[in-house]
Chains A and B, each alone.
Chain A
């Protein structure tokens, strides 16, 4: 009995430590990382333009809205932005994966693969910014396209364009406006 309680207490200690040690990540505030992803998204667009054959079938994809109204943005809070960004990233991730299944051209396939891994990295970056509300509300769902924050595109070039605009716009503005990064800069 005594050994059992001892073991339990040790386990509890480990759990507590584990819980505390995992979450506080150092925030990644350097926008040059995002700029790198933006450049790679643009490279995919270029490869797409030059692709001759095996460049993906005509398919509809659900993608996030990319438009940014600065006037509206100023009044929006960061967490709301974070939600938008998280949702959008997951949508893009799904769409790109679907697109890759139809692509046989190897340079294009490699580029798309690169973009997918970049989106995952962005997720990690957002996580590091400790945007709690964002994390909790993300619910990746394949079968639920109906959302006010989505639009439909019918080809891979359009999808890639949306990806590029999304990264340059909403994601970037969120990262530059994140409180964790503001605290560091000020």
Chain B
């Protein structure tokens, strides 16, 4: 029996001690906080229903607290004394002296005094209901409300009678791990819904309390211990998902339709065909694997009968470039070389739809001919030699010897050359005349030898013979000026100058 009693007493004692220590912890923390914040010498606060006033002990004083006297009075009554105790604060390494009033009168002015050795040290007038220092709120809970970005926070007010409706709360919340917190102030009510939070995030929440300042005033309590809560993950509205999918499908269908209807055009733009001459050379690539000689030999005869383009003008005629100048060996060799080349050119000219420019032919022959002309200039004796080839084919003559005057004039400027060409019939001549008419003159130096169309200021061309038409093409040495008409003609006379 006694054992049980002693056990019970022990338990009760431990509980009391625990309560006192927790109360003491609260007390100490409050004292510590007011020590920093309060500017008055006598710092007072009400905890529960009791007023506690304390002051800092000066360090040079080594005497114990019984020298100090604490008196208070209110409503013009007699002064009453209060027992002074001391407390050592570990955190700030200071000693404070305090007094707890046994029966604290509220709503009246209290006059408190601290006397040391009978002499007044500090004095203060205050109302007890204005210095409430509440404990932090209890039972803080944070729960998910089920809605996106929201948390339900609720708590209980500190244990105090008569003041439940005079309290104001401050809720602080921050993302776990972050230092940036937001604060919400709420009056009287002990629950709050936090809005506008991030989804699926862990939040820390604190709460503290203070009297609202109308009937009661006081200091902010300490923050509660943080409580964690997780916001629900964001749920996407299924209707929105469906709409997005639907619109996406429609857009895909539209784009497909557009692409299919214009696929040829788009393909042409994105992946243009490389033109091949395949259709003009039937069988060249397929049968003869690109061997042109072989193909030529096989297709020589039949080619002419097929796909001959219809010209409104005369048929192009074979052409031979002759050089009267110089070295017969050169000339003949050139001639020989040129024969197949001419044939090629003719054939090409037949086939080509667009005008061929002969510039690709120019370089090697132009260079050689220029040199010949220069040589001529230097050696006028060689002019007499001519290697004029008599045939009914078209001729290009470098006609220096016939007209010396003309030659001089010619050589003063750039190097004009004559082209001589003819065709089988006179009709061609006529057309050639008209064609010639459209030939351009190069800058100043051009002389066109067409008997019908052009003027010859100083001279006339001696006619070489029937069936010949003369045409001089001016060459500035850099470029050749031809009319577009002549492209079909002159093109077959590629090396014509």
Contact = CB atoms under 8 A, between A and B. Distances in A.
B165 interface: yes
Contacts of B127: 165
B215 to A, nearest CB: 5
Interface stretch (A14-22, A66-74, A103-111, A113-121): A66-74
- Main secondary structure on A side of the interface with B: helix
A89 interface: no
A145 to B, nearest CB: 15
Contacts of B49: 70-71
Contacts of B103: 69, 71
Interface string A16-48: 000000000000000100010011000000000
A152 B162 CA distance: 28
Interface residues on A, range: 20 to 34
B76 A31 contact: no
A9 interface: no
Interface in B153-186: 161-162, 165
- Main secondary structure on B side of the interface with A: loop
A67 B108 CA distance: 5
Interface string B97-137: 00000011111110000000000000000010100000000
A129 B214 CA distance: 22
Contact of B109 (A35, A38, A161, A176): A161
A166 interface: yes
B215 A35 contact: yes
A65 B108 CA distance: 8
A170 B105 contact: no
Contacts of A133: none
A75 to B, nearest CB: 13
Nearest to A35: B214
Interface in A127-172: 151-152, 161, 165-166, 168-170, 172
A180 interface: no
Contact of A170 (B76, B104, B107, B109): B107
Contact of A66 (B104, B107, B214): B107
Most chain A CB neighbours (cut-off 10 Å) among B104, B127, B161, B214: B214
B131 to A, nearest CB: 14
A166 B165 contact: no
Contacts of B109: 161, 165
B72 interface: no
A83 interface: no
A151 B75 contact: yes
Contacts of A165: 107-109, 127
Nearest to A70: B49
Contacts of B107: 66-68, 165-166, 168-170
Contacts of B281: none
A65 B75 contact: yes
A168 B212 CA distance: 13
Contacts of B129: 168-169
A151 B216 CA distance: 23
Most chain A CB neighbours (cut-off 10 Å) among B76, B106, B216: B106
A172 B75 contact: no
B68 interface: no
Contacts of B214: 35, 38-39, 168
Contacts of B228: none
A70 B106 CA distance: 8
B27 interface: no
A43 B42 CA distance: 27
Nearest to A31: B165
Interface in B67-87: 74-76
A165 B165 CA distance: 18
Contacts of B215: 35, 38, 168-169, 172
A151 B77 CA distance: 10
B41 to A, nearest CB: 23
B165 A70 contact: no
Given A38-B215, A151-B75, A176 B106 contact: no
A173 interface: yes
A65 B75 CA distance: 8
A39 B214 CA distance: 7
Contacts of A166: 107
Contact of A176 (B74, B105, B165): B165
Contact of A151 (B76, B104, B105, B106): B76
Given A35-B214, A39-B214, A168-B129, A67 B105 contact: yes
Given A67-B105, A69-B105, A71-B103, 16 more contacts: A31-B165, A38-B215, A66-B108, A67-B107, A68-B107, A69-B104, A69-B106, A70-B106, A151-B75, A151-B76, A161-B109, A165-B107, A168-B107, A168-B216, A176-B162, A176-B165
Interface of A: 31, 35, 38-39, 65-71, 151-152, 161, 165-166, 168-170, 172-173, 176
Which 10 A-B pairs have CB atoms at the shortest separation, nearest pair first?
A169-B107, A67-B108, A67-B105, A165-B107, A68-B106, A35-B214, A168-B215, A66-B107, A68-B107, A66-B108
22 contacts: A31-B165, A35-B214, A38-B215, A39-B214, A65-B75, A65-B108, A66-B107, A67-B105, A67-B108, A68-B106, A68-B108, A70-B49, A70-B106, A70-B162, A71-B103, A165-B109, A168-B107, A168-B214, A168-B216, A169-B107, A169-B108, A170-B107
